[in-house]
Chain A
Amino acid sequence: MKFMRKISKTRYFSTFTFVTLVFLIGIIIGQTITELRFSEFQERERDMRTYILSLDLQSELISKKICDVDIFSLTKDKIRLGQELDYLEHKFGKKDPKLLPLKKEYTLLSIRQWLLVKRAKEECEKNWNIILYFYSNEKNASTCESQGYVLDYLYSKHSDSLVIYAFDFDLDTPALNTLKRVFTGSSKFLP
């Protein structure tokens, strides 16, 4: 005697409902954590922008007294912000559309800060070494990663006299394009 086969429709439906619910809850929690992380980063970036702006104003106001302002300590905050950006890039992918505006703003802040540090170095005769580093996530990405690792290492060894500004060569902002043209002669090709 053979038997008639059945399909456990109710069981599949209950399982599907339960698992989908668990998954949706998981995704919502994940999204919330991500949003928190983003807003935290944006907040820090806002603080940084205010700080740079105030320094900038200070240096303009006191004109030749830029040497009285502790510009170098600012670089440490910038590095922390850069590390945070690295982390977000690592987590969400380098081309995540949410990250792009944050990265552009960070780049502009970096350029602004570089100008201040450069001015302070010249005017206050500081023995600082400034490195501008252009990297690409698209071309020679692994070489750039290795170079970035070595630069991080150098910074860790000479953090009191070395300042490194790393710029994503593929980022399209007018200020960065000008900087690229000044240093590489082109805004499209890496030197």
Chain B
Amino acid sequence: MITFETGLLYVVCYFGLFVSVFYLLMFMETRKKLKSPRGKKLPRISVIIPAHNEERVIERTIRSVLNLDYPRNKLEIIVVDDGSTDRTYEIAKKYESKTIKVFKKKREGKASALNFGIKKCSNDFILTLDADCFPKKDVLKKMVGYFEDPRIMSVVPVLSVWKPKSLIEKMQVVEYAIVSFIRKLSTFIHSLNVAPGASLYRKRFFKKYGGFDENNLTEDLEMGMRIQSKNYRIAYALDTCVYTIVPKTFKDLMRQRIRWNYGTLENLKKYSFMFGLRYGDLGIFFLPVMAVGMGLSIILLVYYSALILWNVFHSLYLFSLIGYDFSYIISSIRLDEIIDTLLSTRVFLFVILFLVGLTTYALAKKSLKKGKFKLEFLAYTIIYGWILILFQFLGLVYFLSRRRPRW
């Protein structure tokens, strides 16, 4: 007889294995195509930096753009201060020149600041760069080559964690590595659906289909979905990166992820018409995997949290009945039960998923050429993975209760 738990685990494992094997097969087919193409010419590019209360980082961001390995005369930098109450505007203003223009507007959110910048820029290609992102020198040269394909509307670089110190930051290093690898593979089935913090766009897309959605909580995901919905492509440059400052504390991470998860649900709903055969692999694989994956993770989290809590309280109650006789508690632990638990379907299936995750991480590390394999992965799987699912659950709660998370 299949219990609810066994059934759930079978479904999760089949799903997890299917998705992983699908990506691994794709990796084997495409592993020689991971390098970015070299562009024949270097077009003029406008860099828009929206900033709200970024006095601690704005200077470094501007400098990192100025230090890019790209002809200075082909760059235009537009800093848009979105109603900062600190010294962001004054600091940026110091750098104002023929190349750098600094604007100040009342606070209306990042999407609004980006749209303001788009109106001010004069080039056909636009790099949107969050104020807490610092691009690697070669980023533009690696990205522009993709635009020789006229169907590509946006190019996304790898996002890497800037100087990780705390455990939370180190966990995000692993997460970002895996996500980057999967994003690159997604481009081979034309399914990359997000253009985060530092992405390069063709301006004509904005002209034809409008700028960033100012009412959307994750405007970068919305833009990615919109590009896909119009049957254009998003490319991913795996061999360069933009460093970003990530949340350092649990609280900040939670706030960020609840917002992201809320935004994901909001956009999946908005673009629900893209599910199905009409959108090819995106509609029958990528988007359903996103939605089902989120649902299954949440069911797993709720089920196991309830089970663990019940077992802890129940055991404590039983121990209280025998006056907490620890000598008995210890002597009643049966070795065959422990061995059996270790050999149980539950553990066996999780081990399979763990090994699949491990392989993905190792391949991601190799493809990103990011040093040696680190043991952070273990902590990532055991702790961080569950924390991420918890944030998905909270995002869902916010979404269902129509409570919009704050920035």
Contacts and interface: CB of A to CB of B under 8 A. Distances in A.
Contact of A19 (B21, B26, B336, B348): B21
B317 A146 contact: yes
B280 A7 contact: yes
B284 A18 contact: no
B279 A23 contact: no
A50 interface: no
Contacts of B13: 23
Chain A interface helix/strand/loop/mixed? helix
What band does the interface of chain B fall in when counting residues whose beta carbon is under 8 Å from A? 35 or more
Contact of A15 (B18, B281, B321): B18
Contacts of A3: 151, 190, 231-233
B333 interface: no
Interface in A126-151: 146, 149-150
Contacts of A6: 190, 280-281
Contacts of B17: 19, 22-23
A1 B151 contact: yes
Contacts of B321: 146, 149-150, 153
A66 B281 CA distance: 78
Interface string B263-280: 000000000000001111
B97 interface: no
Interface in B317-331: 317-318, 321-322, 325, 328, 331
A7 to B, nearest CB: 5
Interface residues of A, number: 34
Given A3-B231, A149-B322, A12 B1 contact: no
Given A5-B282, A92-B1, A156 B328 contact: yes
Contacts of A153: 321-322, 325, 328
A33 B320 CA distance: 36
A150 B325 CA distance: 11
B382 to A, nearest CB: 23
Contacts of A14: 25
Given A22-B17, A146-B317, A146-B318, A8 B150 contact: no
A153 B18 CA distance: 47
Contact of B22 (A12, A22, A95, A97): A12
Contact of A5 (B279, B318, B340): B279
A93 B340 contact: no
B281 A8 contact: yes
A112 B1 CA distance: 31
Contacts of A83: 334
A26 B13 CA distance: 12
Nearest to B349: A26
A152 interface: yes
A11 B232 contact: no
26 contacts: A1-B151, A3-B151, A3-B233, A5-B190, A5-B278, A5-B282, A8-B189, A8-B281, A11-B26, A12-B22, A15-B18, A15-B21, A15-B25, A18-B21, A19-B17, A23-B10, A83-B334, A91-B340, A91-B344, A93-B3, A149-B322, A150-B321, A152-B332, A153-B321, A153-B322, A153-B328
Listed from nearest, the 4 A-B pairs whose CB atoms lie closest are A5-B280, A2-B231, A15-B22, A153-B322
Given A11-B25, A153-B325, 12 more contacts: A3-B151, A3-B190, A5-B283, A6-B190, A7-B281, A12-B285, A18-B21, A23-B14, A33-B343, A83-B334, A153-B321, A156-B328
Interface of B: 1, 3, 10, 13-14, 17-18, 21-22, 25-26, 150-151, 189-190, 230-233, 277-285, 317-318, 321-322, 325, 328, 331-332, 334, 336-337, 340, 343-345, 348
Interface of A: 1-3, 5-8, 11-12, 14-16, 18-19, 22-23, 26, 30, 33, 83, 87, 91-93, 95-97, 146, 149-150, 152-153, 156-157
